[in-house]
Amino acid sequence: MTEKFISIAEAMKRGHGKVAIRGWIYRERGSNELKFLVIRDSSDIIQCVLKKEKFAKQWAEIDKLQVEASVEIEGAIKEDKRAPTGFEVEADKITIVGLSDKFPINKDLNEELLGDRRHLWLRSRKMNAILKIRSTVTGALHEYFRSKDFYEFQSPILIPGGAEEGPTMFSVDYFGKKMYLAQTWQLYAEAAMYSLEKIYCIAPSFRAEKSKTTRHLTEYWHTEMEVAWANLDELMAYAEEMTKHVIKRVLEKNKKELEILGRDWKKLEPSLKKKFPHITYDQVLKILKEKKKTNVPWGKDLRTIEEEKFMEDHDTPVFVTNYPKEIMAFYKPRDPKNPKTALCFDMLGPENNHEIIGGSVRDTNIDELKKSLKAKGEKLEDYKYYFDIHSYGAIPHGGYGLGTERLIKWICGLETIKDAIGFPRTMTRYNP
Ligand code: ATP
Ligand code: MN
């Protein structure tokens, strides 16, 4: 007879009459005569009141119930302005399903201690809200790419050494040989692009990042795409439309969750309505110098503080294009119109969110690729595979990678990327 139970959200939508709900005790307080149990389920929380006179036989048990015990409650629901979510159930019946030990989380725990108890902290309203928004975000990303006729293509996570190996890759013992965890699907995606033309994937990427910033994980979900025949402007158009689509879906589905997080969702609206500015690296240096009294020598990457100063004047993401060729990955081609720079972009997020997407056209000129690799001290024989895929009918193409958690961090207004994923992995946090 499980059908008789309805979600707390559904019960509040009905607003009157008998309801049967079930969930976990979120808060409890009581007196001799009354017990107030705030019950949570995945949908919401609601206050239930139990009167001793109705529960004489069970009272001793009810009185001992601790936070997170699971219960089924039947009773009459009515509006009550004083209750935390505006409704109250006056219980006629309670069934105790699972008792709870003393719950080891309270409001005084710091980030480290909450991290140690992550498996239990997921039950908090905060994590519940974030995980719902995360689900909307990944759903909207799939929806977006599929609506644009992209195929979903998966690449291996275990990859041989060679291309792009280095200090930021995790190695794995593979039957006595060394293999690595992929940092990106790109080199495989380019191979598959020659078959499917428009592809995307949402999968974990691994980076042995020693940086302890609020935007780096060692395992993150990388949303990547690769498109045949695309130029830089087309890639940025996809990135912008995709970002707007995700925000639109979150604002449609998750205003309640954004409010639980205390996120001022109005701050997301400019990103829906306005076109994201496009600006070159050269122009950014000029603005930093003239308006922010900050000198960046040409050829240096923008540092955190410089990105923040530049983004102060923007309330939407900004595409910064044409970074210096020398500091870019080997596969980013020179811009024929400005050969010191590469045909690439970073999409920087507002509100101190830094790089959310990085993308580029891909170089298919094998001589140029070899020159760039040599300049970076790479061994050419490691890249035979890559030269191969561009040796049979090479075409212009490109793609980008989105840090899914960085997008979630921005949308939710989180202080740290660690809260954008259920069980974060960083250099110092890998448990539970
Ligand atoms: P950053 O300079 O911020 O470390 P990156 O330029 O090394 O990033 P890319 O190789 O361009 O990153 O990866 C594509 C996208 O993946 C980035 O735009 C970013 O959103 C995301 N990303 C990269 N590294 C991480 C990480 N360690 N944790 C979470 N997301 C990441
Ligand atoms: Mn990047």
Confidence check: pLDDT of 399 > 80: yes
Looking at the predicted structure, is the pLDDT value of residue 148 above 80?
Answer: yes
Query: Is the pLDDT reported for residue 431 higher than 70?
Result: yes
Q: Tell me, what's the pLDDT at 184?
A: 96
Q: Given ligand 1 and candidates 181, 184, 200, 207, which is best to mutate, with the most ligand atoms within 8 Å of its CB?
A: 207
The rounded Å distance from CA 403 to ligand 2 centre is 10
pLDDT at residue 162 greater than cutoff 80: no
Ligand 1 pocket member 40 (CB < 6 A) = no
Q: For position 167, what pLDDT does the model report?
A: 76
User: How far is the centre of ligand 1, averaged over its atoms, from the C-alpha of 215 (Å)?
Assistant: 9
* Whether residue 334 has its Cβ less than 6 Å from ligand 1: no
> Helix/strand/coil (H, E, C) string of the chain?
CHHHCCCHHHHHHHCCEEEEEEEEEEEEEECCCEEEEEEECCCCEEEEEEEHHHCCCCHHHHHHCCCCCEEEEEEEEEECCCCCCCEEEEEEEEEEEECCCCCCCCCCCCHHHHHHCHHHHCCCHHHHHHHHHHHHHHHHHHHHHHHCCCEECCCCCEECCCCCCCCCCCEEEECCEEEEECCCCHHHHHHHHHHHCEEEEEEEEECCCCCCCCCCCCEEEEEEEEEECCCHHHHHHHHHHHHHHHHHHHHHHCHHHHHHCCCCHHHHHHHHHCCCCEEEHHHHHHHHHHHHCCCCCCCCCCCHHHHHHHHCCCCCCEEEECCEHHHCCCCCCEECCEEEEECEEEEEECCCCEEEEEEEECCCCHHHHHHHHHHCCCCHHHHHHHHHHCCCCCCCEEEEEEEHHHHHHHHHCCCCHHHHCCCCCCCCCCCC
Q: What ligand has the least distance to the C-alpha of 164?
A: 1
In this model, does residue 2 exceed pLDDT 60? no
Q: What pLDDT score was predicted for residue 59? A: 97
Interval 16-38: pLDDT, tens: 999 999 999 999 999 889 999 99
What is the tens place of the pLDDT at every residue in 237-289?
A: 999 999 999 999 999 999 999 999 999 999 999 999 999 999 999 999 999 99
Task: Please give the pLDDT value at position 164.
Answer: 60
Ligand 1 atom showing the smallest separation from residue 207 Cα: 27
| Chain mean pLDDT for the chain | 96
Predicted confidence at residue 107, as pLDDT, reads: 84
Q: How confident is the model at residue 352 (pLDDT cuts 50, 70, 90)?
A: very high
Give me the mean pLDDT over the 172-196 stretch.
96
